[in-house]
Amino acid sequence: MDPVHVLLEVSDPCSRAQAHTALGARALERHDLQTAVAHLQEAIALDPEQEHPQRLLASARARGPRRRRLLPFL
């Protein structure tokens, strides 16, 4: 099993938040915005003090459908 998925099973919220952040980052790399947003929101809910998932979430939202609709006009 992937070590990141193992972290999802631990009870420590900070470890679970790190796992969700890593999975969100992987989803962003695959351009799977829906999955990325879900994992990053969960990471923020578990550990709201961490800035990395917040920055990644902002990046995912900037790449969202609204942005794609505007690209033909740019």
Map the chain to HEC letters: CCHHHHHCCCCCHHHHHHHHHHHHHHHHHCCCHHHHHHHHHHHHHHCCCCCHHHHHHHHHHHCCHHHHHHHHHC
Say how far apart CA 6 and CA 66 lie, in whole Å.
35
- Whether pLDDT at 64 is above 80: no
| Side chain identity at residue 1, one-letter code | M
Mean pLDDT of the chain: 84
Provide the whole-model pTM. Answer: 0.79
> In CATH, which of 1.25.40, 1.10.3470, 3.40.50, 3.30.300 is domain 3-73?
1.25.40
